[in-house]
Amino acid sequence: MSSTKSISLIVCITFFFSILFRSSSAQTVVKASYWFPESEFPVTDIDSSLFTHLFCAFANLNSQTNQVTVSTTNQPKFSNFTQTVQRRNPSVQTFLSIGGGIANQSAFASMASNPTSRKSFIDSSIRVARSNGFHGLDLDWEYPSSAAEMSNFGTLLREWRLSVAAEANSTARPRLLLAAAVFYSYSYYSVLYPVQAVANSLDWVNLMAYDFYGPGWSTVTGPPAALFDPSNAGPSGDAGVRAWIQGGLPASQLVLGFPLYGYAWRLANSNINSYSAATTGPAISPDGSIGYGQIKKFIVDNGARMVYNSTVVGDYSYAGTTWIGYDDNQSIVTKVRYAKQRGLRGYFSWHVGADDNSTLSRAASRAWDATAATTVIRRKF
């Protein structure tokens, strides 16, 4: 009797662990970055061995037909993207990203608002992804910005998921992966994302936890992509992650974004070079944005001072009246450790071409591998 009991207990435990193992191994880690042709960074220069997923940006939404299209300029590069990045890493998976920050946002709102145009979008997105060899689709609608738009966004995601599942079934191919780049927080200026539709429909979301401070919208210096805000009053990556989880999205569907670029301001007074320093506008480029590779060059050329702030997890460097807020090695490594320790799916960067000979991408990949994952007790058990 007692031996029967212990055998059935062992069977039970074995079964439990096999389920646990299967459910965790089915969740692929995400170490990702975005590439876009305007960066002029050759696809052949991407060290894809440092990534599990690469996002090719952007396909367009035609506001007349509601179809997803790739411009004729981008077509040759996009159609070769997957085979090119798979040369160095045959298992890397690729996404076609649709939209982006400078896309016509009202075209997305209009498309998502009715069933016929949603179907045009969905069917064409699948066609374009398949015909160009991508493994997944990524929606970068920045941002659904009213309750109605959020609700339509949710409907779109549900229909999209059903369609990619049906297409996989009817073609006997692996299902296209679905992701979306979303606001760093679950609340977009008090309009909430449709978290249940996101959780049920997307493989994960890319949290754009950057652009918090920049000369275009902040007259004082600030950390562009702080992980923490000690005052808890402003934006931060951690505040965004906590908001999404409190809103109901499992941590395992969150991918934390960080920038491989910074913002340069012109200081009003070169003696005041900390955060919250008064400025007179952007420096170095029209909007102040500057890639990490160029920041390293600026530092060397100007003998600029470098400061890592471990409270916010961000770096800045300054010389004369130029002040640059950015993420250097230590910030990136700290963010990657944070993501792994909090049970997030992974991390991504924008954008791969801004790195300095893959330095930060390599540091991020190593930091992820070297960090022990927190044992997460999943809700379904």
Ligand X SMILES: *[C@@H]1O[C@H](CO)[C@@H](O)[C@H](O)[C@H]1NC(C)=O
Query: Of 122 and 195, which has the nearer Cβ to ligand X?
Result: 122
Set 38, 40, 142, 167: catalytic member:
142
DSSP of 277-323: -BEEEE-SSTT-EEEHHHHHHHHHHHT-EEEEETTTTEEEEEETTEE
Alpha carbon of residue 178 to chain centroid: 13
Number of H helices, E strands in the chain: 10, 17
Nearest distance in Å: CB 99, ligand X: 12
Nearest distance in Å: CB 246, ligand X: 24
Nearest distance in Å: CB 127, ligand X: 18
Query: Of 111 and 195, which has the nearer Cβ to ligand X?
Result: 111
String of b and e for 188-225 (b: at least 16 CB within 10 Å)?
Answer: beeeebbbebbbebbbbbbbbbbbbbbbeebeebbbbb
User: Residues in the site for ligand X, rule: CB under 6 A?
Assistant: 63, 76-77, 80, 104, 106-107, 110, 166, 169-170, 230, 275, 309, 311-312, 329-330, 333, 357, 363
Could you confirm whether 149 is annotated as catalytic?
A: no
Strand partners, 94: 54
Query: Of 20 and 278, which has the nearer Cβ to ligand X?
Result: 278
Nearest distance in Å: CB 275, ligand X: 4
Are 139 and 57 in contact by the 8 Å Cβ rule? The answer is no
- The token pair at 344 is 């997030």
Query: Which amino acid, one-letter code, is at 376?
Result: V
- The token pair at 177 is 């992966």
Max Cα separation, the chain? 83
Query: Of 107 and 249, which has the nearer Cβ to ligand X?
Result: 107
Nearest distance in Å: CB 2, ligand X: 46
Query: Of 369 and 376, which has the nearer Cβ to ligand X?
Result: 369
Closest Cα to residue 300, out of 351, 259, 356?
A: 356
Determine the Cα–Cα distance for residues 185 and 240; give it in Å rounded to an integer: 4
DSSP label at 345? -
Query: Of 8 and 73, which has the nearer Cβ to ligand X?
Result: 73
Are 144 and 150 in contact by the 8 Å Cβ rule? The answer is yes
Nearest distance in Å: CB 169, ligand X: 4
Which sequence positions are flagged as catalytic?
A: 142
